[in-house]
Amino acid sequence: MSTPEIMTAFSTGLAAINLDEDAPTRRGPEAERLKRASATIYDLAVERASGHELWNWGMHDQEVADEVERLLPGFGRFGTDGFSEQLYFQALRGVPAEFAEHAGRTVLEVGCGPGEGLNFLSRLLPETRFIGLDLSERAVRRANALLSRGDQLRFVHGDAEQLPFDDGAVDLVINVESSHTYPDLGRFLQEVARVLRPGGHFTHIDVFTRQRSAHFQRLATSTAGLEPVHEVDLSEQVRAAIRRRMAPDSHFHRALARERMSPLARRIAAHSRTVMFGGVFAGYRPDRTIRLLHRLGVVPWMRGLPMRSYRQHVAVRR
Ligand SMILES: C[S@@+](CC[C@H](N)C(=O)[O-])C[C@H]1O[C@@H](n2cnc3c(N)ncnc32)[C@H](O)[C@@H]1O
């Protein structure tokens, strides 16, 4: 498939599972097409990766930032703006367990991308075994090449809907901004319930359309073995991070300014990346130049899906 064909397959597939009110599950060839497109897009993103890669919108909450700073001084100055790390910290602090209780246990992240989020958590919990799984082979290869540390942190290629682990093999499953692309969300939750040991937890964070949210709520309360513990709406904290990232003197804009490209290409890149990293969810509207370039067919608007909320859901395996 050519790149435009991949982009079309991805956006059509995403719209189907996130906007279809009555039948949001996709199986068979349609599901395979979406997964192939998704894996290819993230493979391409790895090819373009330059530094520390975290592929989520992030969040900003001063209390969370202060807590992380106490545990890992300077965490937001190691080549990132720290917002995505705050989101990973939130994934962990939402689990009803002291951090020390994770010592000697196995944590699995499904949809780990290039692994930086899990690497960050492994610095907080050095006595814990971490496994990252992703559908993008290149993301997994990059993560293993740059980050893996024997049994403490390793990465495997796989599909969220068919986890390559034994029943009850995992103590905690983390899932950050990944499940909105899974064609069969119910199958994923069944797999989470299967690989978790009784008493183990599932911490899930994602962005939702109204329809996907209703679908998720139905599944979260009906998946055998998974019992909801609590849910947090993180929308405002996520918007706070995106607005900070959109500010002219942000880490995001300083990093972009260092890339070699013409001023116009830089402006277009700023627009595309702002949209990709949740700009529309935080109220971003393109300026006149971008609107004109869009009318001329030079810039895709890439409005994305009408995302309503960004939430964390925590469940326990019974
Ligand atoms: C937006 S990125 C988030 C990556 C990472 N969690 C982070 O926050 O930086 C979504 C990730 O989910 C992965 N993904 C999509 N569908 C998947 C599937 N069916 N199984 C496993 N991973 C999947 C993608 O390859 C991508 O790396």
In the 3-class helix/strand/coil scheme, how is the chain assigned residue by residue? CCHHHHHHHHHHHHHHHHHCCCCCCCCHHHHHHHHHHHHHHHHHHHHHCCCCCCCCCCCCCHHHHHHHHHHCCCHHHCCCCCHHHHHHHHHHHCCCCCHHHHCCCEEEEECCCCCHHHHHHHHHCCCCEEEEEECCHHHHHHHHHHCCECCCEEEEECECCECCCCCCCEEEEEEECCHHHCCCHHHHHHHHHHHEEEEEEEEEEEEECHHHHHHHHHHHCCCCCEEEEEEEECHHHHHHHHHHHHCCCCHHHHHHHHCCCCHHHHHHHHHHHHHHCCCHHHCCCCCHHHHHHHHCCCCCCCCCCCCCEEEEEEEEEC
Residue 45 lies in a domain: no
pLDDT of residue 38: 97
Query: What is the structure's pLDDT at 312?
Result: 98
Is 12 a member of any domain?
no
Confirm whether 88 is domain-assigned: yes
Q: Which domain holds residue 143?
A: 62-238+307-317
Residue 302 counted as domain residue: no
Could you tell me if residue 83 is inside a domain? yes
Question: Residue 233: which CATH number?
Answer: 3.40.50.150
What stretches in the chain show pLDDT beneath 50? none
User: What confidence tens digit (pLDDT) does each residue in 139-167 have?
Assistant: 999 999 999 999 999 999 999 999 999 99
Handedness of CA 214, 215, 217, 218 (dihedral sign): positive
Mutate to test the pocket of ligand 1, among 134, 155, 273, 277 (most ligand atoms within 8 A of CB): 134
Pocket of ligand 1 (CB under 6 A): 35, 38, 42, 54-56, 110-113, 117, 134-136, 139, 159-161, 176-178, 181-182
Residue 146 lies in a domain: yes
Is 17 part of a structural domain of the chain? no
Number of domains comprising the chain: 1
Ligand 1 pocket, mutate which of 178, 192, 275 (most atoms under 8 A from CB): 178
42 occurs within a structural domain = no
